[in-house]
Amino acid sequence: MTGFGRGSATSETWHAAVEINSVNRKQAEVVVQASRELSELDGRIRKTVLGVVSRGRIQVSINLERSQGALTAIRVDKMLARAFHSAFIELGHAVGQDVAPTAADYLRQPGILNTGTGEIDAGDAWKTIEPALNEALAALAAMRETEGSHLKQDLLARLDLLGKFVANITAEAPARPIRQRELLAKRLREAGLDLDPADERVARELALFADRCDVSEELTRLDSHFTKFREYLDAAEAPGRALDFLCQELFREFNTIGSKANDAGIAQAIVEAKTELEKIREQVQNVE
């Protein structure tokens, strides 16, 4: 399901702002956007996100800045400083007098003194990023839960409509052998074969037809699938994949009924039911 969440946290050293957005996708995919220095945190971030979200494409954007008033570390390149000092001694030997570098000379030389603004200790930064990430995930989950509640009501309404189609089929199915007997008698009369309806051959043909067009098993399985569908909608765990599988099973049962019943009225109900079921299946793709 789609959703968005934002969180922030501040420590003595860092201020972290995290934004998360998700879009529909069958599998779970986590994309992390953060500075290169935080790349070692990718595993922790993905594990935290997948602990809350199990389906969809989730993009996590992390912005990390130093807190106002945080002390900035100064790093001294000792090797470069010694080399710089040695160069002045060599210069003195060359001109025949002592030449000593001043503090200004050291400051003007790039690389001897470096501020730590560009350096990030990922482990220390995680202590600030983690609460911001959890806050963003909580907001994302709340938004997805609201959307899921509306989606559940829509799915239940469409499931009830499917139930009405099945009720119509259940009412029509028993009359199918009777109509076939009438049709068979009509064809025999038109062919000039005036057979007694009680003739054993006619009875055997009707019995075979009744067995071929019997859809009671399919109707029973449809009812079972509807019950399971509602149970999954009320389940605590993510039902998306299970609902997707049930939609496939519902399609299979409706297809079987359509091929076995061989009846115009039932065929029309099957077409309408499959159209509605396709809408359900599209919506199920949005369910985690």
| Residue 257, pLDDT score | 84
- The H helix count followed by the E strand count for the chain is 9, 6
23 SS3 class? strand
- Of 81 and 181, the structure prediction assigns the larger pLDDT to 81
Instruction: Say which CATH architecture domain 3-69+120-141 belongs to.
Output: 2-Layer Sandwich (3.30)
- Per-residue model confidence as pLDDT tens digits over 81-117: 888 888 888 888 888 888 888 888 877 787 787 655 4
Cross-strand partners of 3: 22
Residue 49's pLDDT band, with cuts at 50, 70 and 90, is very high
What would the mean pLDDT of 28-36 be, rounded to a whole number?
A: 89
Does the structure show a pLDDT above 90 at 46? yes
- Per-residue model confidence as pLDDT tens digits over 209-223: 555 667 778 888 899
pTM: 0.58
- Per-residue model confidence as pLDDT tens digits over 131-180: 999 999 999 989 888 888 888 899 999 999 999 988 888 887 766 655 55
Q: 176: buried, middle or exposed (CB in 10 Å: 19+, 13-18, 0-12)?
A: buried
The answer to whether 156 and 230 have CB atoms below 8 angstroms apart is: yes
Closest listed residue to residue 208, CA positions, set 184, 186, 189, 172:
184
The answer to whether 4 and 56 have CB atoms below 8 angstroms apart is: no
Q: Chain-wide mean pLDDT for the chain?
A: 81
| Residue 168, pLDDT score | 85
- Per-residue model confidence as pLDDT tens digits over 264-287: 778 888 899 999 999 898 888 777
Q: What percentage of the chain reaches a pLDDT higher than 70?
A: 81
Structure tokens that stand for 185 in this block: 């008698």
Angle between helices 176-190 and 200-212 (to 10 degrees): 140
Q: What percentage of the chain reaches a pLDDT higher than 90?
A: 28
| Residue 192, pLDDT score | 57
Which alpha helices (DSSP H) does the chain contain, by range? 42-50, 78-95, 103-108, 122-172, 176-190, 200-212, 216-234, 240-261, 264-284
- Per-residue model confidence as pLDDT tens digits over 256-266: 888 777 777 78
Q: What is the distance between the alpha carbons of residues 107 and 35, in angstroms, rounded to a whole number?
A: 29
Please report, for the chain, the start and end positions of each structural domain, with discontinuous segments joined by +. 3-69+120-141, 74-117, 143-284
If you search the block for the tokens 């499931």, which residue do you land on?
159
CB atoms within 10 A of CB 5: 24
Does the structure show a pLDDT above 80 at 127? yes
Question: CA-based angle 261:266:269, to the nearest 5?
Answer: 140
What would the mean pLDDT of 175-186 be, rounded to a whole number?
A: 57
73 SS3 class? coil
Radius of gyration over alpha carbons of the chain, in Å? 37
Q: What is the distance between the alpha carbons of residues 253 and 250, in angstroms, rounded to a whole number?
A: 5
